[in-house]
Amino acid sequence: MISRTILAFAVALAAPAAEIREVRVASEGTDTEITVVVGGPATPRHMMLTNPPRLLLDIKGANLGLEHRRYDRIDRGGVLGMRSTQFRPETVRLIFDLDREFAYRVTADSGAIRVTFQNPGPPFPDWSTPDVREPSRPDVRGAAGPPPVVPQTEPRISVVYDSASMLDVLAGFSEFADISVVPNGDVGAVLVRGIDIRDQPWDVALNAILSAQNLGWHRTESGIIVVDWLENLQARDQLLSETRVIRVNYARADSVAETLRHLATPNRGQVVSFSGSNTVIVTDAPSVVARMDTIIAVLDRPLPQVAIEAKIVFVDRTDVQQLGIVYDLKERNGGVVEQGLNDLIAVPDPNAPPQLVDVDGDGTVDQGFVRRTNETLVSLGGSAVAALANANDRPIGPALQILTAAAFGEFSLFSFLEALESHQLSDVQAAPSIRVVDHAHARIQVGERTPIRVLEPGAQTESARVNVDFEDTGIILDVVPHVTNNNQIRLELMAERSGLKLGLSDVGFVFEKQIGETTLLLDDGETAVIGGLTLSEVSRSRSGIPGLMNLPLIGDLFRSSKENEVKQDLIILVTPHIIHRRPEGR
């Protein structure tokens, strides 16, 4: 008889766990009945959770055999949806989302577990998991990157203790959370009074109860919770030291290590980063190391990438109008100019005798060669008149030149009419694009690096050294993107247009810059136009013969005028796109 009992017990131990094959929601009269079809005996544990209302059903001795893990939009008989998971080996957890809290009853037999409560609405058609071919999913269109991390909380509990032993308290939590709890020393003799905790995660409730009694707990590597006095736990942490090598996947190890150094135990903890494999090495008390490991898991997450498309349009328009009249009056003495201002028209040099020249190369001098000069000639032997007007402000590169001459006795009057009108248009367009990780700096430059020669002190001596520096010029765009939680992009922008220009003083060249800085909030794919980098410069000048240049109607005959108009427009269009991270396995 004893051998048969042992054999039956061994067969029971070797029997495989039952499989959950189907879940049904049906209308039974005025009630709603949830039926969980199990392929063998199983033990249910259940609890009604609030905020929002949910029914938690743990089935021990079972494995999950449903086709899908999540079933949304059941929407009948007060049941909104269902989630399932293999909570522990041979323990399946089913969570039913309800539209309100219900008073319910649970029954179980060898093939099914049934949950019954009053139907809050009219009769409805039956629903079952095999009828669902593709479970409905929440609408996640427009989401960028991986789905947000939802913190996992433990099952919630409500407890009231008044004059209960700590052993009874720990036993209740052990049964509720299905964990192993071991009190250390005389902890079990502690009397718990005046405890009233409502709807809190069980680990938070246990921490509150233990802290009120100057107690704490730590979890062993095998998962057993050991409860002890706080001073004993602190002494244990002081004696124990743990070194853990933590691999960082997405963040930079040195930046993570810098953050963790502020959390390390003073004069004891050490945090070192190794850039070769992007890892962080932490040495500290076990509790501190565990906390750092948890923090790294939160900080080290894949960041979305942002593709930035830019279009840069630079338009340079230059209009020039110049008009000038120059007068040159000369007096001839027997055909020779003995006195005159000869900046414009060269005359024979009276101080240089004619040179005999053999023009045809036959060895016989043919004529005399007279050297001409543009220098000012002054004759001290008699009276003479010479004049030159508007010669120092002539148009540069004139497109039209007219020369007229008039003789009045011994005098000759020459006039030069010069005019210029030009229109220049330069249109430069560039469309660079760049991809950058969220919160990182990106730089787009369309231009060149201009070399600059810099003389060290003592440049006037032979020992002076010359260094060459380089300055970035052209169109430069600096961007730092930040992807927000609602799928928008905050852009920190700095746009610059710079160029080299000849300085007015003896410093040589100067750099002209137009810089604009701004911060924008854009949607994914929205285009922002950055303007304001516009330069408009108009210069007008008039010069001429004093008095005569201001005469009405004929004043233009005695003056030169110049008008330059320069307009430069820089328009930058920036369009950011969030690069969606591909799902795992694709």
SS3 state at 157:
strand
Query: In whole angstroms, what is the distance from residue 215 CA to residue 487 CA?
Result: 45
The answer to the question of residue 143 being in a domain is no
Residues forming a β-bridge with 83:
70, 95
Residues 228 and 252 in one domain: no
Residues 28 and 104 in one domain: yes
One pLDDT digit (tens) per residue for the chain, 586 residues: 333 433 333 334 445 678 898 999 999 989 999 999 998 888 898 888 776 788 989 888 888 888 888 888 898 999 998 988 887 788 888 989 898 888 999 998 878 999 999 998 888 999 999 887 655 444 333 333 444 444 445 788 888 888 888 888 888 888 788 788 888 878 888 888 888 888 888 888 888 999 888 888 877 777 788 888 888 887 776 667 788 898 888 888 898 899 888 888 888 788 999 988 899 999 988 888 888 888 888 888 888 889 988 887 878 888 888 888 888 777 766 666 666 676 777 777 666 666 666 666 666 655 555 677 767 766 666 667 777 777 777 888 888 888 888 877 777 788 888 888 888 888 877 788 888 888 889 888 877 888 877 766 555 555 667 777 888 888 788 899 999 888 899 999 888 878 777 666 556 677 777 777 888 899 998 998 876 567 788 888 888 888 878 888 888 888 888 888 888 887 888 899 998 765 444 3
To the nearest 10 degrees (0 to 180), the angle between helices 202-212 and 166-177 is 170
Residues 371 and 338 in one domain: yes
Residues 283 and 329 in one domain: no
Residues 376 and 447 in one domain: no
The answer to the question of residue 144 being in a domain is no
Domain limits for position 229 = 157-236
Residues 280 and 406 in one domain: no
SS3 state at 343:
coil
Residues 339 and 399 in one domain: yes
Q: Which of 236, 266, 282 is the last residue of a domain?
A: 236
- Please confirm whether the linkage preceding 52 is cis (ω < 30° from 0): yes
- 127 within 8 A of 24, measured Cβ to Cβ: yes
Residues 26 and 120 in one domain: yes
Q: What angle do CA 553, 557, 560 make, to 5 degrees?
A: 115
Query: In whole angstroms, what is the distance from residue 475 CA to residue 447 CA?
Result: 6
Residues 352 and 221 in one domain: no
Q: What is the CATH number of the domain that holds 250?
A: 3.30.1370.120
Residues 545 and 443 in one domain: yes
Q: Which of 236, 253, 275 is the last residue of a domain?
A: 236
* Total-model pTM: 0.46
Residues 117 and 35 in one domain: yes
Q: What is the CATH number of the domain that holds 192?
A: 3.55.50.30
Residue with tokens 């630079």: 314
Residues 123 and 163 in one domain: no
Q: Number of structural domains, the chain?
A: 5
Query: In whole angstroms, what is the distance from residue 304 CA to residue 490 CA?
Result: 13
The answer to the question of residue 139 being in a domain is no
Residues forming a β-bridge with 116:
33, 105
- 563 within 8 A of 320, measured Cβ to Cβ: yes
Give the residue from 537, 495, 470, 539 showing the smallest Cα distance to 314.
Answer: 495
The answer to the question of residue 134 being in a domain is no
